[in-house]
Amino acid sequence: MIDIQQVTKRYKNVAAVDEVSLTIRQGEVFGIIGYSGAGKSTLLRCLNLLERPTEGKVLIDGKDLTALSDNEVRKERQKIGMIFQHFHLISSKTVFDNVAFSLKAAGKTKEEIKKKVPKLLEMVGLSDRSGHYPAQLSGGQKQRVGIARALANDPKVLLCDEATSALDPTTTKSILQLLKKINETLGITIVLITHEMEVVQDICHRVAVMEDGKVVELGDIYDIFANPKTDLSKQFVQTVHSLELPERLLEGRKGPIVQVVFQGDSAEEAVISETLKQFNVNANILHGQISYIQDRALGTLIIELIGSRRDVQKAIDYITKQTSRLEVLADVA
């Protein structure tokens, strides 16, 4: 669907995007995450040529946008909707007219606009706000207008540049649910830029982690959460799944402290209970949680294992075989 080939974007001697290559599949929600200055927003703007790459190619449905003239690019942009962090609504126009603006720009007739806008407003849950002005709307409602406007010309791709960063957590959830519904019902490919791993967890199928203009890790969202490879990915995962123990909990322990990661079916099985039945050890649970990512369970448990060193080692070996990963955080002789 979207094929990014060795894309670089330089500003003077600084590479904001540095030789990035990605393939984004038809109909998926693809996340690009990174801290400020990572190059993620610049990369997103290269996808619809709001920023022309210094080097490399951007292909959408096999068409190389970087080879097109400015007039041809403007036509292609009608197939690519974009949602912004700060909404970019026209304050002097009503909700209806803000959505109609995209249709007018595409040369649609008044009759076509009259039929299309109410359908779009219904889709985003704003049928009763058609005659309101942006100043009369909440932040979430403004973003829904932005989404309706982005969908006006039936795009194949929807680009979201920090679309929820200006919203409170509850409103963010509702906007993400709306985007998920749009993806599932319309089959639109969504590319979502964010610095919040919780946003990625809620909606994305795959994610690219960016740092200093480069993609440092790429993978299925579940795999990234279950087994992040880079330090940066681990930092992002920990913002959602923080299992750091207070120092006082590590004091005076009688046995090794282990962190166990359960994936899929193992997260829903009684692995620890079975361990205690089979081996002469006791377990002291210090911390734990279970999440569901793409409807798949991912659990983490931190426990102290108490018993003879021989029995504890047998228990550790057993748990390791039954689960995805076991790490000894602290060993007590």
Average pLDDT over residues 269-293: 88
Regarding beta strands 2-11 and 29-33, do their DSSP bridges make them parallel or antiparallel, or are they unpaired? unpaired
Helix (H) or strand (E) run with residue 99 in it: helix 95-105
Q: Are 286 and 249 in contact (CB under 8 A)?
A: yes
Residue 12's alpha-carbon distances to 9, 157, 203, 208, in angstroms, are 10, 30, 36, 26
Strands (E), 65-133: 80-83
What order of strands is seen across the sheet that includes strand 296-306?
282-293, 296-306, 257-263, 325-330
Q: 128 vs 261, which has greater pLDDT?
A: 128
Residue 180 CA neighbour count, 13 Å, CB half: 14
Mean pLDDT for the stretch of residues 98-112: 93
The whole-angstrom separation of Cα 93 and Cα 84 is: 18
Q: How confident is the model at residue 101 (pLDDT cuts 50, 70, 90)?
A: very high
pLDDT at 332: 64
Q: Cα-flanking dihedrals φ and ψ of residue 146, to 5°?
A: -60, -40
pLDDT number for residue 152: 94
For the chain, the average pLDDT equals 91
pLDDT in tens, 22-69: 999 999 999 999 999 999 999 999 999 999 999 999 999 999 999 999
Q: Which residue in this structure is represented by tokens 């964010």?
A: 194
Q: Is residue 240 helix, strand or coil?
A: helix
Q: Select from 213, 232, 236, 246 the least CA-distant residue to 330.
A: 246
Q: What is the mean pLDDT of residues 72-80?
A: 90
Question: What pLDDT is stored for residue 333 in this prediction?
Answer: 53
Q: According to the model, what pLDDT value does residue 267 have?
A: 66
**If DSSP codes are grouped into helix, strand and coil, which group holds residue 125?**
coil
In the structure, what pLDDT confidence band is assigned to residue 137 with cuts at 50, 70 and 90? Answer: very high
Amino acid at 239: T
Taken in order 44, 49, 54, 58, the sign of the CA dihedral is positive
Q: Quote the pLDDT of residue 270.
A: 83
Q: Is the dihedral of CA 210, 211, 214, 216 positive or negative?
A: negative
Q: What percent of the chain lies above the pLDDT cut of 90?
A: 70
Q: Is the pLDDT of residue 244 over 80?
A: no
Which own/partner contact pairs does 163-168 have at CB distance under 8 Å and 24+ positions apart?
163/83, 163/84, 163/85, 163/192, 164/194, 164/196, 164/199, 165/85, 165/194, 165/195, 165/196, 166/85, 166/86, 166/87, 166/139, 167/139, 167/140, 167/143, 168/139
Q: Which CATH class is domain 247-330?
A: alpha beta
Q: Which class does domain 2-239 fall in?
A: alpha beta
- Domain range list for the chain: 2-239, 247-330
